[in-house]
């Protein structure tokens, strides 16, 4: 009898295994955010995010009060790390909250700036490493409603504005590092008051707060963005993952939860991986100057041209671009950020078709290989967009994004399996472009003058939906 049931179990296990291999087996991997999801369900869940391509990161919190200075001395490094970098004692750091009164905060204007730039989602710091909750919470007094003269929850207004503009709202939440509520510090602690049990912090602060941010904002958040998993083990991470699965199974989460959880998206920071992440969804997050959280003395702004070309580069490698804005303690987005967003928006109005809903270049290789650089703090910084062009696709379409317009008017492409029916400029659709297609390749005769000094898009309409390069 015993033996028989053992056999049955054995056969059932084999059968399940075979089914799994044969086709759409549920992803039963513990380290995925949704263990019972099929690949088709996953594609459906990820669809809006994959199409969106461009989002706004917002780092906003109490660190915008010191804005890079402690006792009148400039503190090097990224602004939101000032408490750790300058080893500011907890009691002293908490005084900054009294000066955090963002009376000029206008959620509508922020979301409109993002939408006008062509951004389809926003991810804002609901709590960064300093542990300060930018939302109404019952789990800690260290929050914007109870510890500041502002005394309101700005995430509520952002959720309303995001709904109005059709922009998705996501929350960043520092689940592991928390320098004021007894969480981890990735570097040595600097204040005795920080000594605390990490498990108590997870149970009494992180878990209840994640429940709050997942429950109190209507249709949002659409994204949960974890960070720096110092001190996370599988048990701690699982507690947070369980809350997410239970309350918002369709959310998209990144790969920074820790404890072996892979999440949905890779998150290269301040660089563009030369070949993207084949087989994984990914999102490059980058600053516009050299800091995430506002610093009054950081004026090292990237040009709008660099930002536009980064977006094209990322799209050509199949990723998303999460571009940061660090608002002030008054609640204003820095003017240089707004100026750049407006420029990108102008470009996107004409050329967005080459970005939204596209897939990576079919030409492969290291087309547009990233040249890594270091920023002032030794982090991987901007890539140079020295290469000449990028490419994205949709079924039956190729978009050639040309950075440096050919002076002789000729643009050469490798051979394709399908026929090019038509070539046209997104900026001047009526203008005709002659196409010469042969076994050897494709040659386009472009107008002498480029339609856009930064990036001009030529759309190729193809005879087949499947876009394939001819190999010899």
Of 12-20, 74-82, 445-453, 455-463, the window that binds ligand GLC (rule: CB under 6 A) is 74-82
Q: In the complex with ligand GLC, which residue's Cβ is closer, 55 or 345?
A: 55
C-beta of 38 vs 228, nearer to ligand GLC: 228
78 forms part of the interface with ligand GLC (CB under 6 A)? yes
CB of 468 to ligand GLC, least distance (A): 36
205-208 contact pairs (CB < 8 A, 24+): 205/131, 205/139, 205/140, 205/178, 205/181, 206/173, 206/175, 206/178, 206/240, 207/239, 207/240, 207/243, 208/137, 208/138, 208/139
269 binding ligand GLC? (CB under 6 A): yes
Residue 227 is a binding residue for ligand GLC (CB under 6 A): yes
Nearer to ligand GLC, 175 or 361 (CB): 175
Q: What is the dihedral of CA 46, 32, 133, 55, to 10 degrees?
A: -30
CA atoms within 13 Å, Cβ hemisphere of 163: 11
| Beta pairing partners, 388 | none
| Number of residues near ligand GLC (by CB under 6 A) | 9
292 near ligand GLC, rule: CB under 6 A? yes
Nearer to ligand GLC, 86 or 425 (CB): 86
Q: Which residues on adjacent β-strands are paired with residue 128?
A: none
8 Å CB contact between 176 and 232: yes
298 binds ligand GLC (CB under 6 A): no
Nearest approach in angstroms of CB 78 to ligand GLC is: 5
Residue with tokens 């079924």: 395
Q: Which is nearer to ligand GLC, 190 or 356 (CB)?
A: 190
Q: What are phi and psi of 16, to 5 degrees?
A: -60, -40
Give the x-and-dash track for 186-225 against ligand GLC (CB under 6 A).
----------------------------------------
Check binding of 363 to ligand GLC (CB under 6 A): no
- Measure Cα distances from 50 to 10, 25, 100, 221 in Å: 40, 22, 36, 17
Outline where 248-369 has alpha helix (H): 304-316, 335-351
Q: Distance between CA 449 and CA 382 in Å, rounded?
A: 28
Residue 285 within binding range of ligand GLC, rule CB under 6 A: yes
Which one of 15-23, 29-37, 75-83, 245-253 is the stretch in contact with ligand GLC (CB under 6 A)? 75-83
328 binds ligand GLC (CB under 6 A): no
Give the interface with ligand GLC as residue ranges (CB under 6 A).
59, 78, 80-81, 227-228, 269, 285, 292
């Amino acid at each position: 009898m015993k033996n028989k049931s053992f056999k049955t179990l054995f056969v059932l296990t084999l059968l399940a295994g075979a089914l799994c291999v044969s086709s759409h087996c549920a992803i039963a991997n513990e380290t995925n955010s949704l263990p019972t999801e099929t690949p088709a369900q996953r594609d459906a869940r990820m669809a809006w995010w994959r199409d969106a391509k461009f989002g706004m990161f917002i780092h906003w919190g109490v660190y915008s009060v010191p804005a890079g200075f402690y006792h009148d001395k400039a503190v090097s490094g990224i602004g939101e790390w000032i408490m750790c970098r300058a080893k500011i004692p907890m009691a002293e750091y908490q005084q900054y909250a009294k000066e955090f009164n963002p009376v000029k905060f206008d959620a509508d204007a922020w979301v409109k700036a993002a939408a006008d730039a062509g951004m389809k989602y926003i991810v804002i710091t609901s709590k960064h490493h300093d542990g300060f909750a930018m939302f109404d919470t019952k789990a800690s007094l260290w929050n914007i409603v109870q510890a500041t003269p502002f005394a309101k929850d700005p995430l509520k207004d952002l959720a309303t504005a995001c709904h109005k503009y059709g922009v998705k709202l996501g929350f960043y939440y520092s689940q592991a590092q928390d320098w004021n509520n007894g969480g981890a510090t990735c570097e040595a602690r600097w204040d005795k008051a920080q000594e605390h049990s990490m498990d108590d912090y997870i149970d009494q602060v992180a878990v209840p707060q994640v429940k709050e941010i997942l429950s109190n904002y209507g249709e949002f958040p659409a994204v949960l963005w974890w960070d720096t998993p110092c001190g996370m083990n599988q048990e701690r991470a699982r507690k947070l993952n369980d809350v997410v699965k239970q309350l918002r199974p369709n959310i998209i989460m990144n790969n920074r939860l820790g404890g072996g959880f892979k999440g949905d998206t890779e998150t290269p920071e301040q660089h563009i991986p030369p070949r993207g992440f084949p087989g994984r969804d990914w999102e490059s997050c980058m600053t516009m100057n050299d800091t995430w959280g506002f610093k009054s003395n950081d004026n090292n702004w990237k040009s709008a041209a660099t930002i536009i070309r980064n977006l094209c580069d990322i799209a050509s490698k199949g990723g998303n671009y999460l571009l940061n804005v660090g608002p002030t303690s008054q609640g204003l987005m820095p003017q240089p950020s707004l100026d750049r967003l407006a420029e990108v928006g102008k470009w996107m109005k004409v050329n967005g078709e080459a970005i939204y809903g596209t897939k990576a270049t079919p030409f492969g290789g290291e087309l547009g290989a990233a040249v890594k650089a270091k920023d002032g703090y030794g982090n991987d910084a901007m890539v140079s967009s020295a290469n000449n062009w990028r490419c994205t696709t949709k079924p039956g379409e190729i978009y050639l994004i040309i950075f440096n317009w050919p002076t002789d008017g000729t643009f050469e492409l490798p051979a394709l399996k399908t026929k090019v029916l038509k070539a046209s400029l997104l900026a001047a659709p009526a203008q005709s472009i002659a196409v010469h297609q042969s076994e050897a390749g494709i040659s386009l005769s472009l107008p002498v003058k480029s339609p856009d000094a930064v990036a001009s898009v030529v759309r190729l309409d193809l005879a087949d939906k499947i876009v394939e390069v001819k190999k010899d």
